[in-house]
Structure 1
Amino acid sequence: MQRYLGIRKELKIYISNEDTVDGKPLFEALLTLAKEKGIAGATVLKAVAGMGAHSEIHSFNVWVLKQKVPLIITMIDTEENIKVFLDAAGDMIEEGLVTISDTEVLHYHHPKFGKA
């Protein structure tokens, strides 16, 4: 079954796997903050390769143990919840790109697992 939830905001935060805040990986700190602020859901995606503002290409190499690769943290929620999250996250992100866009949301679930 599907249920149309309407227009929501999609937040994407582009950072590096090497970015930290208070000695902790930035992506983990942002996920923890998202949970604390009640964000409906968040996903961290690890890129195979990417190029940013410094025009430097970062890519995954199986032979290199420690390497800098791009991460994308994506969240979908109401505009109000996204704004609350960003207000709290502002000081955590030292460098990166943040995008916000409108997105239509459909929620799928199987009836045997109960109401969504």
Structure 2
Amino acid sequence: MTARTRPAVRLTVLVDDTDTWHHKPMCSEIVHRAHRAGLTGASIFHGMEGFGGRQVVHTTRLLSMADDLPVAVVIVDTEERVRAFLPQLEELDIEGLITLEPVQVVGFDGAEDDAEGDQR
């Protein structure tokens, strides 16, 4: 097997699990917007412990502090497509952290060709 790589961008949106948009979880809204925008994929990762700008540690270990846990929404696609999606996030008025990082997508044999075929 030969690994082939191609450049991409990873968009990560960090929010609290209690953040909402029109009574829906913010993280789900981001994923659904990414899907409607035709991005290659999006995943939600739930954190067990974390803190942000307010410097308050939230953790699952203390029942009284089991809310406002960190959630990361991760999207990987071409830089052009990710940057075109950013206005969708701006509309949501997200209070969490949003980062963009260059990454390399690795494909083996025909896997990369299949992934590129999904991109519009």
Per the normalisation by structure 2, the TM-score is: 0.82
Q: Is the 8 A contact 1:40 1:77 kept in 2?
A: yes
Which structure 2 residue ranges, 5 or more long, are not aligned?
115-120
> How much identity, in percent, do the aligned residues show?
22
| Aligned position for 1:32 | 32
Paired residues, number: 113
Matches within 5 A, 1:44-55: 44-55=44-55
Q: 1:59 to 1:104 in 2, by over 3 A?
A: same
Matches within 5 A, 1:6-85: 6-61=6-61, 63=63, 67-85=67-85
- The runs of 4+ residues in structure 1 deviating greater than 3 Å are 61-64
Larger proportion of helix: 2
Instruction: Kindly state the Cα deviation for residue 82 of structure 1 after the two structures are TM-superposed.
Output: 0.6
Aligned to 2:58, the other structure's residue is in SS state: strand
Q: Is the 8 A contact 1:37 1:84 kept in 2?
A: no
Per the normalisation by structure 1, the TM-score is: 0.85
Q: 1:18 to 1:77 in 2, by over 3 A?
A: same
Q: Which amino acid aligns with 2:67?
A: Q
| Aligned position for 1:105 | 105
Q: Which amino acid aligns with 1:49?
A: E
Which structure 1 residue ranges, 5 or more long, are not aligned?
none
What is the alpha-carbon distance in structure 1 between the residues aligned to residue 71 and residue 52 of structure 2?
12
